[in-house]
Amino acid sequence: MMPSAAVTPESLVGVTGEPLIRLQGVSGGYNGKAVLHEVSLAVRRGELVGIVGQNGAGKSTLLKILLGLLTPMSGTMEMFGRRIRDAGDRAWMQKRIGYLAQIQEPPAIPVTVADTVLLGRWGRSFAGLRRPGAADREVVRRHLELTGIAELAKRDLRSLSGGQRQRAALARALAREPELLLMDEPTTYLDKHARNDLMRRILDIHSESGITMLLVTHVELPGREFDRVLHLDEGLLDRADRTDRTDRTASDEGGAP
Ligand SMILES: Nc1ncnc2c1ncn2[C@@H]1O[C@H](COP(=O)(O)OP(=O)(O)OP(=O)(O)O)[C@@H](O)[C@H]1O
Ligand SMILES: [Mg+2]
Protein backbone atom coordinates (compact mmCIF):
# COMPACT_ATOMS: atom_id res chain seq x y z
CA MET A 1 0.00 0.00 0.00
CA MET A 2 1.18 3.51 -0.76
CA PRO A 3 2.44 5.58 2.13
CA SER A 4 -0.22 8.12 2.96
CA ALA A 5 0.25 11.86 3.23
CA ALA A 6 1.30 12.99 6.68
CA VAL A 7 -2.18 13.73 7.93
CA THR A 8 -3.10 12.23 11.26
CA PRO A 9 -6.51 12.15 12.94
CA GLU A 10 -5.16 14.88 15.24
CA SER A 11 -4.63 17.21 12.34
CA LEU A 12 -8.25 16.71 11.36
CA VAL A 13 -9.48 18.27 14.58
CA GLY A 14 -9.85 21.57 12.79
CA VAL A 15 -12.55 20.16 10.54
CA THR A 16 -14.85 19.09 13.38
CA GLY A 17 -18.32 20.27 12.49
CA GLU A 18 -17.37 20.33 8.84
CA PRO A 19 -18.87 17.71 6.57
CA LEU A 20 -17.01 14.42 6.57
CA ILE A 21 -18.70 13.69 3.29
CA ARG A 22 -19.38 16.38 0.75
CA LEU A 23 -20.56 15.39 -2.69
CA GLN A 24 -21.57 18.05 -5.15
CA GLY A 25 -23.27 17.18 -8.39
CA VAL A 26 -21.76 13.72 -8.46
CA SER A 27 -22.80 11.41 -11.25
CA GLY A 28 -21.55 7.88 -11.44
CA GLY A 29 -22.19 4.58 -13.13
CA TYR A 30 -20.78 1.88 -15.29
CA ASN A 31 -19.50 1.71 -18.87
CA GLY A 32 -20.14 5.40 -19.41
CA LYS A 33 -23.78 5.15 -18.34
CA ALA A 34 -24.79 7.06 -15.21
CA VAL A 35 -26.96 5.38 -12.58
CA LEU A 36 -26.46 8.23 -10.08
CA HIS A 37 -27.47 11.64 -11.34
CA GLU A 38 -25.88 14.79 -9.90
CA VAL A 39 -26.09 13.67 -6.31
CA SER A 40 -25.28 16.26 -3.66
CA LEU A 41 -24.85 15.09 -0.11
CA ALA A 42 -23.27 16.48 3.02
CA VAL A 43 -22.82 14.37 6.13
CA ARG A 44 -21.36 15.97 9.21
CA ARG A 45 -19.12 14.44 11.81
CA GLY A 46 -21.15 12.37 14.28
CA GLU A 47 -24.29 12.10 12.17
CA LEU A 48 -26.26 8.91 11.60
CA VAL A 49 -27.82 9.12 8.16
CA GLY A 50 -30.01 6.58 6.41
CA ILE A 51 -30.63 6.37 2.68
CA VAL A 52 -33.61 4.36 1.50
CA GLY A 53 -34.24 3.35 -2.09
CA GLN A 54 -35.64 0.52 -4.15
CA ASN A 55 -33.59 -2.28 -5.67
CA GLY A 56 -31.43 -0.82 -8.40
CA ALA A 57 -31.82 2.78 -7.21
CA GLY A 58 -28.04 3.15 -6.97
CA LYS A 59 -27.43 2.78 -3.24
CA SER A 60 -24.48 0.40 -3.52
CA THR A 61 -23.10 2.50 -6.37
CA LEU A 62 -23.16 5.55 -4.10
CA LEU A 63 -21.25 3.65 -1.42
CA LYS A 64 -18.71 2.44 -4.00
CA ILE A 65 -18.05 6.06 -4.90
CA LEU A 66 -17.69 7.04 -1.24
CA LEU A 67 -15.27 4.14 -0.76
CA GLY A 68 -13.21 5.19 -3.75
CA LEU A 69 -13.91 1.93 -5.58
CA LEU A 70 -15.71 3.76 -8.37
CA THR A 71 -14.57 7.11 -9.77
CA PRO A 72 -17.30 9.71 -10.27
CA MET A 73 -18.07 10.59 -13.89
CA SER A 74 -18.60 14.22 -12.87
CA GLY A 75 -18.98 16.42 -9.83
CA THR A 76 -16.74 17.00 -6.83
CA MET A 77 -16.06 14.87 -3.81
CA GLU A 78 -14.56 15.95 -0.52
CA MET A 79 -13.97 13.49 2.30
CA PHE A 80 -12.71 14.44 5.74
CA GLY A 81 -12.11 17.94 4.45
CA ARG A 82 -9.88 16.86 1.57
CA ARG A 83 -10.73 16.98 -2.10
CA ILE A 84 -10.56 13.44 -3.53
CA ARG A 85 -9.01 13.42 -6.98
CA ASP A 86 -6.51 10.61 -7.38
CA ALA A 87 -5.37 7.22 -6.10
CA GLY A 88 -3.29 8.84 -3.34
CA ASP A 89 -6.35 10.69 -2.02
CA ARG A 90 -8.42 7.52 -2.17
CA ALA A 91 -5.82 5.50 -0.24
CA TRP A 92 -5.69 8.30 2.34
CA MET A 93 -9.45 8.31 2.90
CA GLN A 94 -9.81 4.52 2.84
CA LYS A 95 -7.81 4.28 6.04
CA ARG A 96 -10.56 6.27 7.75
CA ILE A 97 -13.56 4.33 6.49
CA GLY A 98 -15.14 1.13 7.77
CA TYR A 99 -17.40 -0.75 5.39
CA LEU A 100 -20.04 -3.38 5.87
CA ALA A 101 -20.72 -4.88 2.44
CA GLN A 102 -24.16 -5.90 1.15
CA ILE A 103 -23.21 -9.53 0.64
CA GLN A 104 -20.87 -11.39 2.99
CA GLU A 105 -19.22 -14.04 0.84
CA PRO A 106 -18.54 -17.11 2.98
CA PRO A 107 -14.79 -17.77 2.94
CA ALA A 108 -13.53 -20.79 1.01
CA ILE A 109 -11.29 -21.95 3.85
CA PRO A 110 -11.86 -22.18 7.60
CA VAL A 111 -11.32 -18.86 9.36
CA THR A 112 -12.19 -18.02 12.93
CA VAL A 113 -14.48 -15.17 13.83
CA ALA A 114 -11.62 -13.45 15.67
CA ASP A 115 -9.36 -13.64 12.60
CA THR A 116 -12.01 -12.26 10.27
CA VAL A 117 -12.48 -9.32 12.63
CA LEU A 118 -8.70 -8.85 12.78
CA LEU A 119 -8.68 -8.57 8.99
CA GLY A 120 -10.68 -5.37 9.38
CA ARG A 121 -7.43 -3.75 10.50
CA TRP A 122 -5.58 -4.74 7.35
CA GLY A 123 -4.15 -1.66 5.69
CA ARG A 124 -4.79 0.38 8.83
CA SER A 125 -2.33 -0.84 11.44
CA PHE A 126 -0.71 -3.74 9.62
CA ALA A 127 -0.12 -4.84 6.06
CA GLY A 128 2.58 -6.60 4.06
CA LEU A 129 5.48 -7.28 6.38
CA ARG A 130 3.96 -5.43 9.32
CA ARG A 131 2.22 -8.03 11.39
CA PRO A 132 -0.69 -7.54 13.77
CA GLY A 133 0.35 -6.94 17.36
CA ALA A 134 -1.09 -7.11 20.85
CA ALA A 135 -2.86 -3.78 20.36
CA ASP A 136 -4.66 -5.19 17.31
CA ARG A 137 -5.75 -8.26 19.29
CA GLU A 138 -7.08 -6.00 22.00
CA VAL A 139 -9.10 -3.98 19.48
CA VAL A 140 -10.54 -7.24 18.14
CA ARG A 141 -11.48 -8.40 21.63
CA ARG A 142 -13.20 -5.12 22.37
CA HIS A 143 -15.29 -5.20 19.20
CA LEU A 144 -16.27 -8.84 19.59
CA GLU A 145 -17.53 -7.82 23.00
CA LEU A 146 -19.29 -4.73 21.68
CA THR A 147 -21.16 -6.69 19.01
CA GLY A 148 -22.09 -9.48 21.44
CA ILE A 149 -20.12 -12.30 19.82
CA ALA A 150 -17.19 -12.68 22.23
CA GLU A 151 -18.18 -16.27 22.92
CA LEU A 152 -17.99 -17.04 19.19
CA ALA A 153 -14.40 -15.80 18.79
CA LYS A 154 -12.89 -19.22 18.06
CA ARG A 155 -15.75 -20.52 15.93
CA ASP A 156 -15.41 -21.05 12.17
CA LEU A 157 -17.09 -18.10 10.50
CA ARG A 158 -18.94 -20.46 8.16
CA SER A 159 -20.76 -22.11 11.06
CA LEU A 160 -22.46 -18.88 12.16
CA SER A 161 -26.10 -17.97 11.69
CA GLY A 162 -26.96 -15.07 9.39
CA GLY A 163 -27.42 -12.68 12.29
CA GLN A 164 -24.17 -13.75 13.94
CA ARG A 165 -22.32 -13.38 10.64
CA GLN A 166 -23.62 -9.81 10.23
CA ARG A 167 -22.47 -9.00 13.75
CA ALA A 168 -19.03 -10.38 12.85
CA ALA A 169 -19.04 -8.19 9.74
CA LEU A 170 -19.99 -5.19 11.86
CA ALA A 171 -17.20 -6.02 14.33
CA ARG A 172 -14.74 -6.27 11.44
CA ALA A 173 -15.79 -2.88 10.04
CA LEU A 174 -15.53 -1.29 13.50
CA ALA A 175 -12.18 -2.93 14.27
CA ARG A 176 -10.75 -0.57 11.70
CA GLU A 177 -11.57 2.15 14.23
CA PRO A 178 -13.00 4.21 11.41
CA GLU A 179 -14.10 7.82 11.49
CA LEU A 180 -16.84 6.94 9.04
CA LEU A 181 -18.80 3.69 8.86
CA LEU A 182 -20.62 2.84 5.63
CA MET A 183 -23.19 0.05 5.81
CA ASP A 184 -24.90 -1.52 2.82
CA GLU A 185 -28.17 -3.26 3.77
CA PRO A 186 -26.79 -4.50 7.11
CA THR A 187 -30.12 -5.85 8.36
CA THR A 188 -32.06 -6.53 5.16
CA TYR A 189 -31.53 -10.26 4.87
CA LEU A 190 -32.13 -11.09 8.53
CA ASP A 191 -35.32 -12.27 10.18
CA LYS A 192 -37.25 -9.82 12.29
CA HIS A 193 -35.62 -10.71 15.58
CA ALA A 194 -32.05 -10.60 14.25
CA ARG A 195 -32.85 -7.44 12.30
CA ASN A 196 -34.11 -5.59 15.36
CA ASP A 197 -31.20 -6.84 17.42
CA LEU A 198 -28.58 -5.67 14.91
CA MET A 199 -30.29 -2.31 14.36
CA ARG A 200 -30.37 -1.75 18.11
CA ARG A 201 -26.66 -2.51 18.35
CA ILE A 202 -25.87 -0.13 15.48
CA LEU A 203 -27.90 2.64 17.13
CA ASP A 204 -26.27 2.05 20.52
CA ILE A 205 -22.77 1.93 19.05
CA HIS A 206 -23.50 5.16 17.23
CA SER A 207 -24.63 6.99 20.32
CA GLU A 208 -21.79 5.65 22.43
CA SER A 209 -18.95 6.03 19.93
CA GLY A 210 -20.07 9.07 17.98
CA ILE A 211 -18.72 7.48 14.79
CA THR A 212 -20.27 9.06 11.70
CA MET A 213 -22.49 6.47 10.05
CA LEU A 214 -24.22 6.19 6.69
CA LEU A 215 -26.53 3.24 6.15
CA VAL A 216 -28.30 2.37 2.89
CA THR A 217 -31.21 -0.02 2.61
CA HIS A 218 -34.32 -0.83 0.62
CA VAL A 219 -36.32 -1.78 3.71
CA GLU A 220 -37.91 0.54 6.22
CA LEU A 221 -35.70 2.28 8.79
CA PRO A 222 -36.54 3.33 12.34
CA GLY A 223 -36.49 6.92 11.07
CA ARG A 224 -36.92 8.57 14.47
CA GLU A 225 -33.66 7.05 15.60
CA PHE A 226 -31.75 8.55 12.68
CA ASP A 227 -30.58 12.12 12.34
CA ARG A 228 -31.76 12.12 8.75
CA VAL A 229 -33.29 9.68 6.33
CA LEU A 230 -32.85 10.47 2.64
CA HIS A 231 -34.49 8.88 -0.33
CA LEU A 232 -32.69 7.67 -3.43
CA ASP A 233 -34.93 7.20 -6.42
CA GLU A 234 -33.55 6.23 -9.84
CA GLY A 235 -30.22 7.78 -8.96
CA LEU A 236 -31.67 11.04 -7.63
CA LEU A 237 -31.20 11.84 -3.97
CA ASP A 238 -33.91 13.65 -2.03
CA ARG A 239 -34.67 14.49 1.53
CA ALA A 240 -37.20 12.07 3.01
CA ASP A 241 -38.95 12.37 6.37
CA ARG A 242 -36.56 14.63 8.20
CA THR A 243 -36.59 13.86 11.88
CA ASP A 244 -36.14 16.86 14.11
CA ARG A 245 -33.85 15.69 16.79
CA THR A 246 -32.59 18.38 19.07
CA ASP A 247 -30.61 16.25 21.46
CA ARG A 248 -27.61 15.99 19.17
CA THR A 249 -25.53 19.10 18.92
CA ALA A 250 -23.02 17.87 16.36
CA SER A 251 -25.67 17.10 13.78
CA ASP A 252 -28.15 19.93 13.93
CA GLU A 253 -26.74 21.71 10.96
CA GLY A 254 -26.45 18.64 8.76
CA GLY A 255 -28.58 18.83 5.70
CA ALA A 256 -28.56 17.68 2.15
CA PRO A 257 -28.89 20.56 -0.26
N1 LIG B 1 -20.72 -3.54 -12.04
C2 LIG B 1 -21.81 -3.08 -12.70
N3 LIG B 1 -21.81 -2.97 -14.04
C4 LIG B 1 -22.89 -2.49 -14.71
N5 LIG B 1 -24.02 -2.09 -14.11
C6 LIG B 1 -24.09 -2.15 -12.78
C7 LIG B 1 -22.99 -2.65 -12.00
N8 LIG B 1 -23.33 -2.62 -10.69
C9 LIG B 1 -24.58 -2.11 -10.65
N10 LIG B 1 -25.03 -1.84 -11.89
C11 LIG B 1 -26.34 -1.26 -12.23
O12 LIG B 1 -26.48 0.01 -11.60
C13 LIG B 1 -27.80 0.19 -11.12
C14 LIG B 1 -27.75 0.49 -9.62
O15 LIG B 1 -27.20 -0.64 -8.95
P16 LIG B 1 -26.92 -0.64 -7.38
O17 LIG B 1 -26.31 -1.95 -7.07
O18 LIG B 1 -26.18 0.58 -7.02
O19 LIG B 1 -28.39 -0.54 -6.81
P20 LIG B 1 -28.91 -0.75 -5.30
O21 LIG B 1 -29.75 0.43 -5.00
O22 LIG B 1 -27.76 -1.02 -4.42
O23 LIG B 1 -29.81 -2.04 -5.46
P24 LIG B 1 -30.13 -3.23 -4.37
O25 LIG B 1 -31.21 -2.69 -3.47
O26 LIG B 1 -30.61 -4.34 -5.22
O27 LIG B 1 -28.88 -3.55 -3.65
C28 LIG B 1 -28.57 -1.07 -11.45
O29 LIG B 1 -29.30 -0.85 -12.63
C30 LIG B 1 -27.48 -2.10 -11.68
O31 LIG B 1 -27.87 -3.07 -12.62
MG1 LIG C 1 -27.25 -2.59 -3.24
Reported as a single tens digit per residue, the pLDDT across 73-126 is 999 999 999 999 999 999 999 999 999 998 878 888 999 999 999 999 887 777
Q: How many domains does the chain have?
A: 2
Residues 105 and 88 in one domain: no
- Same domain, yes or no, for 68 and 109? no
Does 55 contact ligand 1 (Cβ within 6 A)?
Answer: yes
60 close to ligand 1 (CB < 6 Angstrom): yes
205 and 89 together in one domain: yes
Residue 153 lies in a domain: yes
Q: How close is the Cα of 239 to the center of ligand 2, in Å?
A: 19
Domain contains 159: yes
Domain with 255, as residue range(s), is: 17-96+200-257
Q: Is residue 245 part of a domain?
A: yes
User: In terms of C-beta distances under 8 Å and separation of at least 24 residues, what long-range contacts does 160-166 make, across chains too?
Assistant: 160/113, 161/194, 162/189, 162/190, 162/191, 162/194, 163/190, 163/191, 163/193, 163/194, 163/197, 163/198, 165/104, 166/100, 166/104, 166/190, 166/194, 166/198
3-state secondary structure of 42: strand
Ligand 1 atom closest to residue 64's alpha carbon, by position in its atom list: 18
Residues 171 and 204 reside in one and the same domain? no
210, 239: one domain: yes
Residue 79 belongs to some domain of the structure: yes
Answer yes or no: is 184 within a domain: no
pLDDT above 70: residue 2: no
Any ligand 1 atom below 6 A from CB of 65: no
pLDDT tens digits, residue range 201-219?
999 999 999 999 999 999 9
Question: Ligand 1: distance of its center to the CA of 21 in Å?
Answer: 22
Q: What is the pLDDT of residues 149-200, one digit of tens each?
A: 999 999 999 999 999 999 999 999 999 999 999 999 999 889 999 999 999 9
Q: Is residue 185 part of a domain?
A: no
Give the residue whose CA is nearest to atom 10 of ligand 1: 30
Q: Quote the pTM value.
A: 0.86
Same domain as 127, residue 78: no
